[in-house]
A and B are shown apart, each in its own frame.
Chain A
Amino acid sequence: MGSNQPPQKIFSRNSSGLVREISTSQAFIYNFMAIGFYGFTWATLFSVGYTSSFLGANIGLAILLMAISAIPFYLSTSMLSSAMPRAGGDYVWQSRVLHPSIGFAATFSAWTVWQWYFASFLGVVITTIGFQPLFALLGLTNSGDASTAAALAAGYGQYNNTLVFEITTLIIILGFAVAALGIRFYVRLQYLLFAGSAISALTVLGVLATTSHQAFVTTFNAFMVPLFNGNQTLISQVQSAGGYYQYIINTANFPSSGFNLGNTLTLFGIIWISFGYAFWSIYNLGEIKKAGNLRSQAIMQIGSSLVFAVFLLALWYLLENVIGLPFLHAFFNLYPNAPSTFPLSFLYTPYYPALVGSISSSPLVWTVILFVATFGIFQVILIVYFASTRIMLAASLDRVLPDRLSYVSSRTHSPIIALIISAIGCEAFLYLIIYDYTFTSYFSTAGLATQIAYILISVTAILFPFRKKQIFEASPAGKYKIGGFPVLSIAGILSLFVNLYIAWIFIAGPALGFLSVSTASSIEFVIGIFLTCFVVYWIAFAARRSQKIDLSLSFAEIPPE
């Protein structure tokens, strides 16, 4: 060793565990794949954000402000992860800092039970965003495809649509099969799906970017002509309006409005549903805690959410400039508010990819935009499917849930029993989505449910430096203080405000069109599931006590002195 060797390098040993970090690009991809191009936000933001529920909202500004507002949360999770890299995530953080019953109830309800709902919801979205519009477009020249499109669209909101139920059931089974085949296969497939979704997303942007506003209007008007089916009244009205594009705008008669900051901010709820997943890929390689790891974690989580924001912003900018804001307002507002007058009813639901697809006359482009988009949706389904088993495994090892749940196949190393339960849970939610009219629109409810977990993570971040002082002071995060007050706690406070606000949006904010149910039902359901999980913990507590196992010892800290 040379004389200019820094002092800390004098005493490094060939001890086990010393591992080089993975590259920045590898870590970034790992993080970004957790959000994915196509997920909840992508599926819902533009359909809901242009409706009269959000009059005067600026979607682009909402995306930007959400990306900035998310930073304290990512800072919190990065610091907690750097302080407890082997803990295993928020289930353990909350169990240690708050109480094991809260840690279990919050994470099991948000990251297991409600993920079953999200997986089923996205499974249905595969049909509504991908398959149905693709068959509808192909059906313009092929009656067989048109029949398929009609069958996939039957029933308002797909209620009682057995075909959609069957297709989504197959998707759920496929997700189970992929996850059951083991992590190596799952990781490889996920990578391919992500690549496919990237191609689809970039194609959408590319088609929009190479189309002028006037070209869209002209193309759209020409596209709609064959769909009038000889309806002379309609033809006459369209001619008076100067084309179907303007006809839709006139029909909707969307109220004009200036910029409304309040409505802009209430879009946080929809945007956060995807943004929030960037922290799911928390991991740490090796046991050497470094400030570099903390920095990397923070940069990767914030970075991946910012890249997602850039993608959304690009999409927003192109949609408004190519398709036009008045048309977007009219198009998305007619569906929930006056469905009988909704144009393009053959496309069934108002998602923008089909609108973008209609710009092109190429079935290949339609396939890439619509069918390949389903790769991305399926990728997110796999993430939530696999991740929903995480809490089950952890809670099973901690003796809160039955031992069988932590069974892992010796061949594929996948948690088969937990995956079966996830599949059943997804199917149960799917049944309710399709066959229970009142249940279908529990999207905002699911959002509220996951907010409980985000709020408790924020509280954990605030309290951690004080309740686990020794662990905190010994971690890289321990050095960051402002006026002696931990930055982690400051980040936690800011994150708490943001997440409480988002929870308020799901409780008292504007109705998300077809995505929300009455507030009372939402709150009852969310609290009901949370309390059920809470009770499950205490049942386990009592049951284990009879086996001489005291669950109060699982996370109780022993004072060393």
Chain B
Amino acid sequence: MGSGFTRILFATDVHGSDPVWKKFIRGADRYKANVLIIGGDITGKNVTAVTENPDGTYSAEFQEQKHSMRNKEELERFENILRTNGTYMYVGSPSQLSELALDHYKAEKIFSELVLERLAEWVDFADKNATTPLYVNAGNDDEPGVDDVLRGSKKIVQPEDRVIKIDSKHEMISGGFANLTPWHCPRDLPEEEIARRLEKKVVLLENPRTAVFNLHCPPVNSGLDTCPKLDSSVYPPKPIMDAGGIVLFGAGSTAVRASIEKYQPMLGLHGHIHESKNIAKIGKSVCINPGSEYGEGVLRGVLVNIDDSGYKSYQFVAG
């Protein structure tokens, strides 16, 4: 590669999947990337409770299927399946699990502990194996405690509240928040607040036009944010059907779009909508969402090549 050439490996929404995280770290060598960026939503969404039976066996229900493990070895194999899916595991006796069923606060606490414990393992893995600058942001699904764990890393840079120079020419601002969702996630914000925060970040840039906007939430109606429209009067929300088909719509942020339209950054890197792998141009800005297949243990990412003259090319990868 010539001087001034930078290859970014961008992935997002890894949601606790162990193999995806590890593939991402190793992706630097595999893809010859010299900057690694994760756009947010790094923690998982579910814990699977495993009952430790009096006879030394274990039982659990996962993906609506009953699993029985005869010994610790089989339990370990089961845990690997959970880790691939981004799920956490909690092993308890029948009485412990019954107690947790009554104590929502305690269950939440355990959930948080498992989330942060795996994240700490990941940070340790990155510290030992990362060979390139590594920027990992929290997304709207990630609880506040995530930031402290990331900041404790020797190699990971948490880019949320700062301007990062990813190479000699290009700056990056990051925002892990998203517009309000039916699930009231920890970093969901109203559009006005998103707009305010983006303005605060952009003014710190020397040159927005050569910058990278690493914003977890994609711009609205960009093709990067297409997903089923949901009826959120019920929980969990239900897809809206019309004439035998699922109604799709753009769930992205108006504030993000407005900011991109106004400042025309070189590149927008987005996630949040897993099924919307796509590339779009908003004016001169190239915006990309690589999508996510974290649940299958597949690293979905995009390689973006930039140089001193700006954006050069992209390539979606799925490894």
Mark each residue of chain B from 290 to 319: 1 if its CB lies under 8 Å from any CB of chain A, else 0. 011111111100010100000011111111
Closest chain-A Cβ to B47's Cβ sits at a distance in Å of 3
**Please, how many residues of chain B have a CB less than 8 angstroms from a CB on the other chain?**
86
B88 to chain A, nearest CB (A): 8
- Cβ-defined contact, B297 with A474, below 8 A: yes
Least CB distance from B171 to A in Å reads 23
**Residue B263 lies at the interface, judged by CB distance under 8 Å to chain A:** no
Contact A8 B48 (CB under 8 A): yes
- The interface residues of chain A lying within 8 Å CB-to-CB of B84 are 470-471, 473-474
Tell me whether A397 and B278 are in contact in the complex, defined as CB-CB below 8 angstroms, given that A10-B97, A86-B293, A188-B242 are known contacts. Answer: yes
Q: Is B244 a contact partner of A290 (Cβ separation < 8 A)?
A: no
Tell yes or no: A347 within 8 A of B by CB: no
**Which of A10, A283, A557 is within 8 Å of B100, CB to CB?**
A10
| Contact of A475 with B by CB under 8 A | yes
Whether a CB of chain A sits under 8 angstroms from the CB of B56 is no
Interfacial residues of chain A within 25-41, with CB under 8 A of chain B in the complex: 26, 29-30, 33
User: Which listed residue, A2, A22, A397, A558, touches B277 by the CB 8 Å rule?
Assistant: A397
Check if B243 is an interface residue, CB within 8 A of chain A.
Answer: yes
**Given A10-B97, A548-B305, does the pair A15, B315 have CB atoms closer than 8 Å?**
no
CB pair A15–B183 under 8 Å, yes or no, is yes
Bound together, the chains give a CA A22 to CA B223 distance in angstroms of 23
Residue A58 lies at the interface, judged by CB distance under 8 Å to chain B = no
Are B223 and A190 in contact (CB-based, < 8 A)?
A: no
The A14-29 residues at the B interface (CB cut-off 8 A) are: 14-20, 22, 26, 29
A22 and B239 within 8 A (CB):
yes
Complex contacts, B51 vs chain A, CB 8 Å: 7
- CB pair A289–B185 under 8 Å, yes or no, is no
Residues of A within 8 A of B41 (CB): 16
Closest A residue to B82 using CB positions: A474
Residues A10 and B101 in contact, CB atoms below 8 Å apart: yes
Closest to B18 in A: A560
Are B60 and A553 in contact, with the CB atoms below 8 A? no
A141 at the interface (CB under 8 A from B): no
- Whether B63 lies near A17 (C-beta < 8 A) is no
Q: Is the CB of B237 within 8 A of A29?
A: no
Across the interface, do B293 and A84 meet the contact criterion of CB distance under 8 Å? yes
Asked, given contacts A86-B291, A191-B244, A553-B303, whether A560 binds B19 with beta carbons under 8 Å apart, the answer is yes
Residue contact B319 to A15, C-beta cutoff 8 Å: no
- Given that A33-B244, A548-B1 are known contacts, is A7 also in contact with B101, CB under 8 Å in the complex? yes
A544: chain B residues at CB < 8 Å are 315
Interface stretch, picked from A105-113, A249-257, A315-323, A405-413, is A405-413
Q: For the complex, is B234 an interface residue (Cβ under 8 Å from A)?
A: yes
Whether A20 lies near B234 (C-beta < 8 A) is yes
Q: What is the CB-to-nearest-CB distance from A100 to chain B, in angstroms, rounded to a whole number?
A: 10
Residue B73 CB within 8 A of the other chain: no
Q: In the complex the two chains form, is A22's CB within 8 Å of B246's CB?
A: yes
Give Cα A192 to B242, complex, Å. Answer: 12
B259 within 8 A of A: no
| Number of A interface residues in the complex (CB < 8 A) | 78
Of B26-34, B156-164, B190-198, B199-207, which stretch is located at the interface? B26-34
> Which B residue's beta carbon lies closest to that of A1?
B101
Most buried by B among A3, A15, A16, A192: A16
Residues from chain B with Cβ under 8 Å of A478 in the complex: 81
Q: Nearest-CB distance from B112 to chain A (Å)?
A: 10
A558 with B30: CB separation less than 8 A: yes
Instruction: Write the nearest CB–CB distance from B288 to chain A, whole angstroms.
Output: 10
User: When chains A and B are docked, how far (Å) is the Cα of A84 from the Cα of B303?
Assistant: 22
Report the minimal beta-carbon distance from B116 to chain A, rounded to whole angstroms.
14
B61-A6 in contact (CB<8A): yes
Enumerate chain B residues within 8 angstroms of A26, measured Cβ to Cβ.
Answer: 241, 244
A30 and B236 CA atoms in complex are apart in Å by 22
Q: Does A96 contact B (CB under 8 A)?
A: yes
What does the 1/0 interface line of B214-254 toward A look like (CB < 8 Å)?
00000001010010101000101111011111111000000
Closest CB in chain A relative to B221 CB, distance in Å: 7
Knowing A285-B228, A560-B23, say if A15 contacts B45 (CB, 8 Å).
yes
Q: Which residue of B lies closest to A403 (CB)?
A: B279
B107 contacts A by Cβ under 8 Å: yes
The answer to whether A83 and B49 touch across the interface, beta carbons within 8 angstroms, is: no
**Residue among B100, B291, B319 with most chain A CB within 10 A:** B319
* Identity of the chain A residue whose Cβ is nearest the Cβ of B181 in the assembled complex: A16
Residues in B neighbouring A470, C-beta threshold 8 A: 19, 84, 297
- Interface of A, helix, strand, loop or mixed by DSSP: loop
- B101/A3 in contact, CB under 8 A: yes
Q: Which residue of A lies closest to B272 (CB)?
A: A16
Pair B305/A558 contact, Cβ less than 8 Å: no
A183 at the interface (CB under 8 A from B): yes
A548 CA to B299 CA in the complex, in Å?
A: 21
A539-555 interface bits toward B, Cβ cutoff 8 Å, 1 = contact, 0 = none: 00000100111110111
**Docked pose: A184 CA to B183 CA in angstroms:** 26
Query: B12 near A: Cβ within 8 Å?
Result: no
**Contact for A553 among B90, B111, B238, B317, CB less than 8 A:** B317
B22 at the interface (CB under 8 A from A): yes
Q: Is A5 an interface residue, CB under 8 A from the partner?
A: yes
Contact of A291 among B65, B81, B299 (CB under 8 A): B65
Contact pick for B245, options A1, A3, A30, A406, CB 8 Å: A30
* Neighbour of A19 across the interface among B19, B238, B315, CB < 8 A: B238
Which residue of chain B has its CB nearest to the CB of A30?
B244
Nearest CB of B to A469, in Å: 10
Determine if A188 and B141 form an interchain contact, defined as CB atoms under 8 angstroms apart: no
Contact partners of B141 in chain A: CB under 8 A: 15-16
> Known contacts A17-B274, A558-B319; is A11 also within 8 Å of B90 by CB?
yes
Say whether A22 contacts B241, CB under 8 Å: yes
| Chain B residues positioned under 8 Å from A96 (CB to CB) | 318
Residues of B within 8 Å of A524, CB to CB, are: none
Bound state CA distance, A550 and B312, in angstroms? 14
Q: How far is the CB of B11 from chain A (nearest CB, A)?
A: 11
Known contacts A17-B274, A194-B244, A291-B65; is-contact A8 B298 (Cβ 8 Å): no
* Chain B residues within 8 Å of A17, by CB: 45, 183, 274
Q: Which residue of B lies closest to A394 (CB)?
A: B277
Report if A481 contacts B (CB, 8 A): no
- Check if A144 is an interface residue, CB within 8 A of chain B: no
Q: List 29 A-B contacts (CB under 8 A).
A: A2-B102, A7-B60, A10-B97, A11-B46, A13-B46, A14-B184, A15-B185, A16-B185, A20-B236, A26-B241, A83-B296, A86-B275, A184-B242, A188-B242, A190-B244, A191-B244, A192-B243, A413-B223, A470-B297, A471-B84, A471-B296, A474-B297, A476-B64, A479-B65, A551-B315, A554-B316, A556-B30, A558-B319, A560-B26
Known pairs A10-B97, A187-B242, A560-B19. 15 more at Cβ < 8 A?
A: A10-B49, A10-B100, A11-B47, A17-B183, A33-B244, A188-B243, A291-B64, A291-B65, A397-B277, A397-B316, A475-B296, A548-B1, A548-B305, A550-B315, A555-B319
Query: Which positions in B face A, CB cutoff 8 Å?
Result: 1, 18-19, 22-23, 26-27, 30-31, 41, 45-51, 60-65, 67, 81, 84-85, 88, 90, 97-98, 100-102, 104, 107, 110-111, 140-141, 181, 183-185, 221, 223, 226, 228, 230, 234, 236-239, 241-248, 274-275, 277-279, 291-299, 303, 305, 312-319
Per CB-CB distance, the 9 closest pairs between chain A and chain B, nearest first, are A11-B47, A187-B245, A7-B49, A15-B45, A560-B22, A191-B243, A474-B84, A558-B319, A20-B238
